[in-house]
Amino acid sequence: MADWISFYDLRHSLIYVNARHRDVHYRKIADDLRALAPSPTAAVLDYGCGEATSADYLAESCGHLTMVEAAPNVMAALKARYGGNGKISVIGPAEAAAKPAASFDLIVLHSVAQYLSGAELDGLLATFRELLKPDGHLVVGDIVPPRFAAPAAALSLLRCGAENGFFIAAVRGLIRIAVSDYLRLKSKVGLSHYDEAAMLEKLTRAGYRAERAARNVGHNQWRMTFLARPASGA
């Protein structure tokens, strides 16, 4: 396994302990993003959307949802699932970067920044700055702080399992990931961590006015979400 895109493409069954976990996970994200959708006509971009099994529910709350996925098998599954939904498009990163300037009212980057180097994240933030309308919003979610990340993720999974009827599967899932190639890839490629000040500084340098949201999008409240707008916009 050479990189996180390949890992996600081939091993997403490790990340979600079962279909119930996957669906609860994506429903919670869609619920939280619906609350952030600026208007029923908004053009929304979800970059690194993953399997996004509640994307149709999110799309109901906006004008059009563009889903961006780099992992080829995941992208193919999204196209099969949402191909008949006129409010949803599924594209790759290169196609997203080639969209005209000021195309989107809301851009979401959720649980992706940890898989990017600092320079890759800077590049994406610059691309999003171009793609956002002057009064648009950027949501950068699931930012992993430097300390206690692994125990926090494990506890969050166990709590989510206990609350949603898959606790035993969550325990088994933690054991599976502990003996998988996840830890080898983590030590080889690494994960990016940011504390609140570092992420605010990064967003400011990229040309945004940013603040930390009161709650993280999704289940893991040890992680952080940031809300940002183009600094020169409304």
Ligand X SMILES: C[S@@+](CC[C@H](N)C(=O)[O-])C[C@H]1O[C@@H](n2cnc3c(N)ncnc32)[C@H](O)[C@@H]1O
Which residues contribute to the site for ligand X (CB under 6 A)? 4-5, 8, 29, 48-50, 69-71, 93, 110-112, 115-116
Are the CB atoms for 148 and 220 separated by under 8 Å? no
Cβ nearer to ligand X, comparing 218 with 230: 218
CB 172 to ligand X: min, Å: 19
> Based on CB atoms, which residue is closest to ligand X, 37 or 112?
112
| Contact by Cβ (8 Å): 212, 224 | yes
Q: Which residue is nearest to ligand X (CB)?
A: 50
**Smallest gap from residue 111 Cβ to ligand X (A):** 3
Q: Which is nearer to ligand X, 189 or 233 (CB)?
A: 189
Cβ atoms of residues 209 and 231 within 8 Å: yes
To ligand X, the closest distance from the beta carbon of 209 in angstroms equals 24
Which residues partner with 148 through β-bridges? none
* DSSP bridge partners of 230: 208
Euclidean distance between CA atoms 141 and 226, whole angstroms: 6
Q: Which residue lies nearer to ligand X by CB, 70 or 90?
A: 70
Give the number of other CB atoms < 10 A from CB of residue 51: 21
- Report in angstroms how near the CB of residue 70 gets to ligand X at its nearest: 4
CB of 155 to ligand X, least distance (A): 18
Q: Which is nearer to ligand X, 5 or 154 (CB)?
A: 5
Closer to ligand X by CB, 181 or 209: give it: 181
Task: Label residue 216 exposed, middle or buried (CB < 10 Å: 0-12, 13-18, 19+).
Answer: buried
Q: In whole angstroms, how close is the CB of 9 to ligand X at the nearest point?
A: 7
Of 116 and 233, CB closest to ligand X = 116
Please spell the DSSP secondary structure of 179-201, one letter per residue.
TSTHHHHHHHH------HHHHHH
Give the residue from 33, 38, 49, 156 showing the smallest Cα distance to 96.
49
Q: Which region, left, alpha or beta, applies to residue 228 given φ > 0 means left and ψ of -120 to 50 means alpha?
A: beta
User: How far apart are alpha carbons 21 and 167 in whole angstroms?
Assistant: 10
Q: How far is the CB of 115 from ligand X (least distance, A)?
A: 4
Q: Looking at residue 117, what DSSP letter applies?
A: -
